[in-house]
Amino acid sequence: MSTAGASAPPDETAQLFARADLVKMTDNTTYIRLIDQLEHQSSKLSDADKWHLFYLEAWQTAYVGQNEKARPMLEDVAEHAPDDDLREQARATLINILGIGHRYQEAFSNLDQALDELPRISRASTRQHVLAEASQLLTEAGQYDLAINYADQLILIPAASDYRCIGMSIKLDAEFRKDPHADDLLSRLQRGVDTCVANHVLLSADTLRADMARVKIDEGKAGDAIDLLQSAYADMSKLQYQDLASQYDALLAEAYWKQGNTRQAENYAIATVDLASKGDFMEPLISAYQLLYQIAQQEDHLRDALMYHEKFMMANSTHLDDIHEKALAYQVAKQQSDAKKAELDELSKKNQILQLQQSLDHREVETGRLYIALLIVLLGSIALWLYRLKRSQLRFMRMASHDGLTSILNRQHFFEKVEQKLGRATDSAQSASLILIDLDHFKSINDTHGHAAGDHVLTRVVDVCQRYLQTTDVFGRLGGEEFAIFLSGCTAENAIERAEQIRRAIHDTSREENQSTPVSASLGVASTTHHGHHLRHLLAAANEALYQAMYGGYNRVVINIASHSEAHPGGACINKFAVSHGKPGATQDGEPSSCAADSQD
């Protein structure tokens, strides 16, 4: 980054900045010491150097995981620093933490701006930084060919060998994700590790080792994977990069499990959960929960198995939503970029029309009119294209809020709608209820009949549930085979009646249609009457009731009535839960019960 300013800094200060820029990705301890030295000289720094120091501090803040604190610092540098190079560096770092924080549309918007400004940047390391972030973000969004293209551009830039190694590691990671079974992949990953080690870029080397371990495990070489990971584990831990550490723990857990070493597998899986849950690292967390579920199931610890399976399903659902959001954010950003270019093209064509009109003389009027007519036709074509582009953007916006398979609300937008309705219910002192629905033994349907049959069951269940919904209800898919219905103005008594109607309808429909695989559901109910109008409390109570329904034998409805008495260990619940399973007095004719607003139990 440039240190040019109103007055040239002493040679020693310039050397401190240069040294800090050089070691920030390879020696964090030295980097912190250099920042401290620069901060002691802050009163003597030029304005440009003060902005440079502020960026270095923001980078360190992001490196230690304090992204919410780092984000406004980086935005300030990206918008107001006097040096183009420094602004571009800050924007590249901002792209990285926005991606980590799941703010994908903002990340792609900043990436689009950074790539637009890149031709004006001459410094090699800055250009490589932007290209590295572009390649990495596009890899996460599943745009592997485009990511590889940007990584190749990065590698071809002369000098800045650290970034060349980073580019190589990002390219190899994209190739690994694109085709994890390529014949020469393992040898290329090893060459990448050797190159990064030779250049002392240890983070990239350790990242590639994780990919190598993944390949070895998939090839049935669990012992080789363990040797590889354990040999690098101590040095990797010194980097204090929690995402990579959680990946190593998850891979070691899986490798030991493949070898039959259950205790070591369990220890590393628990360590993965402790680390990954703090940093929201979903892929290692999913792997660890799945393994802990398998271990608990093998040792006949059914309660633990069910708990880990629920956590695995929730983490996997969140991860799938995250993948969908990344892909959608890329498409939206691409649509916006195309629309911006089309608008500029339209403006350019309009200017051409004005210039043509001004240049025409009396002898060229007829010819000029023809040209104008042609340009007007061209403008009309562009306008039609813009109209279609706008319709496409609206379609993408709907995709962002609805589940792709069932067309009902997805997890994020379901909770947003419910929060709004709970706020109105609080203001008007109305009752409301939440029903959680989980299809029983759904995994066996997928395993036995295939995912197409599983998808058919999910859409059929949604159709059945919608017969019993009222216009004020909110219906969403939380992920996998789990659904939720929010009942506005509905008391606990009416909610359990409606839940029982839905349970019976799901069960009866599969029998009426002579399905080879019977379908049933377990339902958990919670009401604001017992748990208040906070979504977090209502969701936790309904989830606890759902667990009781599953633990008590499936195909039943349980309502959490919030007494502090404990549930009976045999499965029938006292005080805290009420169980309904075709109970007397429930509606039998299939007509939905109405929900009376603000009535008391």
Domain assignment present for 313: no
Q: Are residues 342 and 465 in the same domain?
A: no
In-domain check, residue 278:
no
Per-residue confidence (pLDDT) for residue 213, from 0 to 100: 92
Number of domains present in the structure of the chain: 3
Residue 39 domain flag: yes
Q: Give domain status of residue 298, yes or no.
A: no
Residue 573: per-residue pLDDT = 38
Same domain, 107 and 29: yes
Give a yes or no: residue 106 inside a domain.
yes
Q: Give average pLDDT by consecutive 10-residue segment, the chain, 601 residues.
A: 42 85 79 90 88 91 86 92 90 88 84 87 85 86 87 79 76 84 85 86 89 91 94 88 91 94 94 87 90 91 89 84 76 70 67 66 64 80 77 63 86 92 90 95 85 89 93 92 94 94 90 71 94 92 93 92 43 49 38 36 33
Query: Are residue 28 and residue 170 in the same domain, yes or no?
Result: yes
Examine the domain organization and report whether 26 and 115 are in the same domain.
yes
Handedness of CA 93, 94, 97, 98 (dihedral sign): negative
* Dist. CA 18–CA 168, nearest whole Å: 24
Shared domain check, 381 and 483:
no
Let me know: does 489 contact 502? Beta carbons within 8 Å: no
- My answer on whether 332 and 418 are in the same domain is no
Look at residue 600 and tell me if it is in a domain.
no
Predicted confidence at residue 340, as pLDDT, reads 66
**Which of 216, 237, 258 is a domain's end point?**
237
The pLDDT assigned to 67 comes to 85
Three-state SS for 124-144 is HHHHHHHHHHHHHHHHHCCCH
Range of the domain at 490: 411-580
For β-strands 577-580 and 557-560, DSSP reports them as: antiparallel
Q: Are 210 and 176 in contact (CB under 8 A)?
A: no
Question: For residue 217, what pLDDT is reported?
Answer: 92
**Three-state secondary-structure class, residue 374:** helix
* Cβ neighbours, 10 Å, residue 68: 11
Please write down the HEC assignment for all residues of 107-126: HHHHHHHHHHHHHHCCCHHH
Based on the fold, state whether residues 200 and 173 are members of the same structural domain: yes
How far apart are alpha carbons 249 and 434 in whole angstroms? 37
CATH code where residue 127 lies = 1.25.40.10
Helix axes 242-259, 282-298, angle to 10 degrees: 30
Taking Cα atoms as reference points, which of 208, 189, 410 lies closest to residue 317? 410
DSSP 8-state secondary structure symbol assigned to residue 102: T
- Do 352 and 437 lie in a common domain? no
What is the model's pLDDT at position 204? 86
The residue out of 354, 375, 401 marking a domain boundary is: 401
* CB-CB contact of 289 with 305 (8 Å): no
Give a yes or no: residue 433 inside a domain: yes
Does residue 304 form part of some domain? Answer: no
Q: State the Cα–Cα distance between residues 430 and 444, nearest whole angstrom.
A: 41
- Residues 68 and 125 placed together within one structural domain of the fold: yes
SS3 408: coil
- How far is residue 253 CA from its own chain's centroid? 24
- Do 344 and 493 sit in the same domain of this protein? no
CATH for 420: 3.30.70.270
Q: Are residues 120 and 164 in the same domain?
A: yes
* CA proximity to 439, closest of 542, 546, 538, 540: 546
State whether residue 91 is helix, strand or coil.
helix
Domain stop point among 185, 202, 237: 237
pTM of the model as a whole: 0.52
Are both 112 and 232 inside the same structural domain?
Answer: yes
Residues counted in the chain? 601
In the block, which residue shows the tokens 């009222």?
470
